[in-house]
Amino acid sequence: MGKIVLLRKKPLTVLACALAAALMFYVVNYPYAVDAAAANRQLPIYCVQRDQKMVAISFDAAWGNEDTQELIDIMDRYDVTATFFVVGAWVDKYPESVKALADAGHEVMNHSDSHAHMSQLSSEEIAADLNACSDKIEAVTGVRPTLVRPPYGEYDDHVITAIRGMGLEPIQWDVDGSHTASSC
Q: What is the dihedral of CA 155, 161, 165, 171, to 10 degrees?
A: 40
Please tell me the total number of residues recorded for the chain in this structure. 184
Determine the pLDDT at residue 52. 84
Q: Which domain holds residue 1?
A: 1-40
pLDDT category of residue 41 using cuts at 50, 70 and 90:
confident
* Same domain, residue pair 36 and 81: no
Domains contained in the chain, number: 2
| Model pLDDT for residues 90-129, shown as the tens digit of each residue | 999 999 999 999 999 999 999 999 999 999 999 999 999 9
* Same domain, residue pair 16 and 103: no
* Same domain, residue pair 152 and 105: yes
Domain with residue 79: its CATH number is 3.20.20.370
* Same domain, residue pair 107 and 17: no
- The residue that leads in pLDDT, 87 or 184, is 87
- The residue that leads in pLDDT, 144 or 41, is 144
**DSSP H or E segment with residue 170:** strand 169-170
Q: Which of 9-18, 58-67, 125-134, 141-150 has the lowest mean pLDDT?
A: 9-18
* Same domain, residue pair 112 and 151: yes
